[in-house]
Amino acid sequence: MAYLITKVEALEKAIAQKDKVHNIHVDHWFNIDELADYLPDRPARATVYGWVSRKEIPYHKGGKRLRFLQSEIDTWLSSGKRTSKKELEAKAKSYCVAKKVSK
């Protein structure tokens, strides 16, 4: 009986270890078409090439092919937030207070 219990415990441990391995996120590489499908606004290839030429988007070049790493694209997408008018006014006000500038 002790032998069976030991075997069951070993199996449970192996299953738990396998679940941990499957939960690890593997980064994904996109080619230009996959990237266009992944991006929310589905830009044209020419648009993506423009971003690359202006170095506005993170990319890697292997030979003549462009490649994009999903984690870098996700970071790039989340960093594209524009400051609202209210946030700009608050920032300007705090700058003026810090520099003691009067209106």
Residue 55 included in any domain: yes
Residue-wise pLDDT for 40-80, tens only, equals: 999 999 999 999 999 999 999 988 899 999 999 999 998 87
Residue 72 included in any domain: yes
In the predicted structure, residue 88 carries a pLDDT above the cut 60: yes
Residue whose structure tokens are 């991006």: 39
Residue 85 included in any domain: no
Q: What would the DSSP string read from start to end of 34-69?
A: HHHHHSTT---HHHHHHHHHTT-S--EEETTEEEEE
Residue 20 included in any domain: no
Residue-wise pLDDT for 21-40, tens only, equals: 555 567 899 999 999 999 99
| Predicted model pTM | 0.57
Q: Give the count of domains, the chain.
A: 1
Residue 6 included in any domain: no
The pLDDT value given to residue 103: 56
In the predicted structure, residue 19 carries a pLDDT above the cut 80: no
The pLDDT value given to residue 2: 85
Residue 103 included in any domain: no
Residue 88 included in any domain: no
Residue 30 included in any domain: yes
Q: Domain of 39?
A: 26-78
